Amino acid sequence: MTSSTFGLYLTSGNVVSIGAGACDTGDTNCNLSSKSITGIATDTFINHHNLTEYLNLSSNQLTSIESGDFAGLSSLTTLYLSSNQLTSIESGDFAGLS
């Protein structure tokens, strides 16, 4: 019998910023909500092609999204960004998502 993990759930607590490997578990979804995340490091998700269902970054303290922040997530179905402090979104900020 084989076992599969389908998600990583890290809710409530303080992470501040996320970098490479933040969701590097091979799972199809990643929940990083309510972690007080203020930033996403360049290339954080570059090798996370396995994230095909959702990435939840809601209820954090993100103030901006940079072009390329989601590079590597071309098969992601849903991205949650609600309840952050985003003040503007530029064209190209979601480059890499389809």
The per-residue pLDDT for range 12-42, each reduced to its tens digit, is: 445 556 777 677 777 899 998 998 899 888 8
pTM, whole model, 2 decimals? 0.79
> Cβ distance 86 to 62 under 8 Å?
yes
59-87 tens-digit pLDDT? 999 999 988 888 889 999 999 999 999 99
Backbone phi, psi, residue 66, to 5°? -105, 150
Distance CA 73, CA 13 (A): 25
Which pLDDT does position 16 carry in this prediction? 57
